[in-house]
Structure 1
């Protein structure tokens, strides 16, 4: 299993698994970046308030890439939620 942090595009509700010059984005955002490039300089920043909480009540923060006419917002899931917990041993009932 990969140790990369999983990110979700807040606009399209898709996993960000497409590489671009500005980083990983979802397939819809990648299409937009290449077919209708945003105008102006890109700014990137973390939003100061959590946008969601994991099932373990850990805060999930949003990261934004923003141009004059386009914005990509991503939610970053806590690393702990990406690793499947070890299952308990199976017991035989025979």
Structure 2
């Protein structure tokens, strides 16, 4: 499996999150766990308030958690590298 185009990575299994579930996209091993042994309790989801890592370009990567009483899925969200964002101070001329 290649992680080149992954924008989220499971921090538990160090795998790209490519599998769709009712709770969002997860890695294959987390999806297997969700379907074979569903977590118990209420689901809480939240972003961690501080970056958990940085890219080589020093862009922050944040973690997102899905938390039940007996299971937690923690995902590393990489910055979107497909869009070429320009600073707001630059204006394109269309003439």
Task: Settle same-fold status: TM greater than 0.5.
Answer: yes
Written as runs of structure 1 = structure 2, the 5 A alignment for 1:6-85 is 6-80=7-81
Q: Which structure's relative contact order is higher, taking Cα pairs within 8 Å and 6+ residues apart?
A: 1
Unpaired runs of at least 5, structure 1: 84-94
Q: TM-score, normalised by structure 2?
A: 0.79
When you count helix as a share of all residues, which structure comes out higher? Answer: 1
Alignment RMSD, CA only? 2.0
Structure 1 runs of 4+ with >4 Å offset: none
Number of aligned residue pairs: 80
Q: TM-score, normalised by structure 1?
A: 0.79
